[in-house]
Amino acid sequence: MADDTIFARILRGEIPCDEVYRDDRCLAFRDVAPQAPVHVLVIPSEPIESLRSAGEEHEALLGHLLLVAARVAKQEGLEDWRTVINSGAEAGQTVFHLHVHVIGGRPLSWPPG
């Protein structure tokens, strides 16, 4: 459940993070296992397990997360970056609290994985 994850513990201040942005709806912090020179996670304050479990009531929040991802990328000096949302274990989701990866600072290939 999303309210019992490591991200929920970070949101509650039980685990420290390298915060780069916070507002009343989300938190952005550096990934502890970065896959590029810039690797920031943007997580909603609300415990939503994944994108597939989000509902229409989350429409504004989902848009906000993407706008914050762009803001963070620019704040980190990126002109080009990738945003990734994994939904489900087979897609690579390891923490079941919705999060947006902001990845950049090096050339990124396609397809990933």
Which listed residue (39, 58, 64, 99) is catalytic?
99
Distance separating alpha carbons of residues 14 and 12, to the nearest angstrom:
6
Closest CA to 75 of 22, 24, 20, 30: 20
Is residue 109 situated within a structural domain? no
- Give this prediction's pTM: 0.95
Q: What is the 3-state secondary structure (H, E, C) of 52-101?
A: HHCCHHHHHHHHHHHHHHHHHHHHCCCCCEEEECCCCHHHCCCCCCCCEE
- Which domain CATH number covers 91? 3.30.428.10
Total count of domains within the chain: 1
Domain containing residue 31: 2-104
Is residue 85 situated within a structural domain? yes
Is residue 78 situated within a structural domain? yes
Say whether 39 is catalytic: no
pLDDT tens digits for range 3-48: 789 999 999 999 999 999 999 999 999 999 999 999 999 999 999 9
Is residue 113 situated within a structural domain? no
Residue 97 CB neighbour total at 10 angstroms: 24
Is residue 112 situated within a structural domain? no
pLDDT tens digits for range 51-100: 999 999 999 999 999 999 999 999 999 999 999 999 999 999 999 999 99
